[in-house]
Amino acid sequence: MAVATLTSKGQITIPAQVRNALGLEAGDRVEFVEHGKGEFAIVAATRSVRELKGRFQGKRCKPVSIEEMNAAIARRASGSR
């Protein structure tokens, strides 16, 4: 079983055995997913950009001009919609 110690700043070092099993490298992100009271799983939050392919398919909108963007910002800032 891999064990880590919490520092006074709330930091831990993920043991090498766990990093290797998750395929983590320096700079990678991890997510802590709650599974129950007092029980969490550490999940590698690194995904390939290729996984986004097709995610926004069919959700294209017409291009918006800078003027339209500025007008929308101004409307929102003034409180009128």
d(CA 18, CA 42): 9
> For 58-75, what is each residue's pLDDT tens digit?
767 788 899 999 999 998
For residue 51, the model assigns a pLDDT of 67
Residues 31-48 have a mean pLDDT of 86
For residue 27, the model assigns a pLDDT of 87
For residue 14, the SS3 value is coil
% of the chain surpassing 70 pLDDT? 85
The neighbouring-strand residues paired with 32 are 42
Q: What is the pTM of this model?
A: 0.52
pLDDT band at 80 (very low <50, low <70, confident <90, very high): low
Which residue ranges form the domains of the chain, and what is each CATH number? Answer: 1-48 (2.10.260)
Which two three-digit tokens encode residue 4?
A: 């880590």
CB distance 20 to 10 below 8 Å: no
Amino acid at 63: P
CB distance 52 to 60 below 8 Å: no
pLDDT at 36 over 90: no
d(CA 24, CA 8): 24
